[in-house]
Copies of this chain bind each other. A is one copy, B any other.
Amino acid sequence: MSNNSAPNPSRPRKLRADAEANLDRIIDVAEAVFAEHGLDASIDLVAKRAGVGLGTIYRRFANKDALVAELIDRLLAETIAIAERHLHDTHGDGLTRYLYEVCELLSTKRGALARLWSDAANGPMITRSREVQQQLVANAHRHGAIRADLTGEDVAVALWSIHGILDVTRGSTVNAWRRQLDLLLLGFADNTAIPTHPLTPAAMTAIITNKSDRGNAR
């Protein structure tokens, strides 16, 4: 009970550079903590694990949502970077590589996964993400690598579906997603021999995420 908070007079003052490092550590730790405990994990836990004060986190992020948003932004940026690396693949396999690499990434950074695709909703990063996905699809079409009726939206939704698998397998190292992606890509492939009926037309409109409903409804 006796709270022995002995003031350490000799503690070195944090330098500006440290502040930068702090920010990164906070983000990394938040990723890990949320991945381990879910988004309900407390900010306190993040602060403790990051070795910073609670206030420090709140200095960088207006609130918990903002921290999560940052996680999402960084993740999204990485997926876009992956896409851009494969935008000019010459064998029409850029799309395939994009999907495998992004899923690989998501399987290692599951912290903000639960809100990755719903939160960003219509933000600029999602827009950019859709853009590159469409380009990857266009490229694949050019090489006749995929069904003629496949769209960029199908790619986006494919990632949502993989997210579902990662969600169920949270906490395990199982990568069931890989095999399912194999199967899905088989369905993506151009296949003149098969289709007995045309695909259900894309009906996806703007996802209406009720922001205020999520988070600590508690």
A interface list, Cβ under 8 A from B: 1-3, 19-20, 23, 36-42, 60-61, 63-65, 68, 70, 114-115, 117-119, 121-122, 147, 149-151, 153-154, 156-158, 160-172, 174-180, 182-189, 191, 193-196, 198-218
Contact = CB atoms under 8 A, between A and B. Distances in A.
Contacts of A188: 183, 187
Contacts of A165: 157, 160-161, 164
Given A170-B118, A217-B42, A204 B23 contact: no
8 contacts: A3-B23, A119-B211, A122-B206, A157-B179, A161-B180, A164-B167, A176-B202, A182-B200
A163 to B, nearest CB: 4
A154 B182 CA distance: 11
A157 B213 contact: no
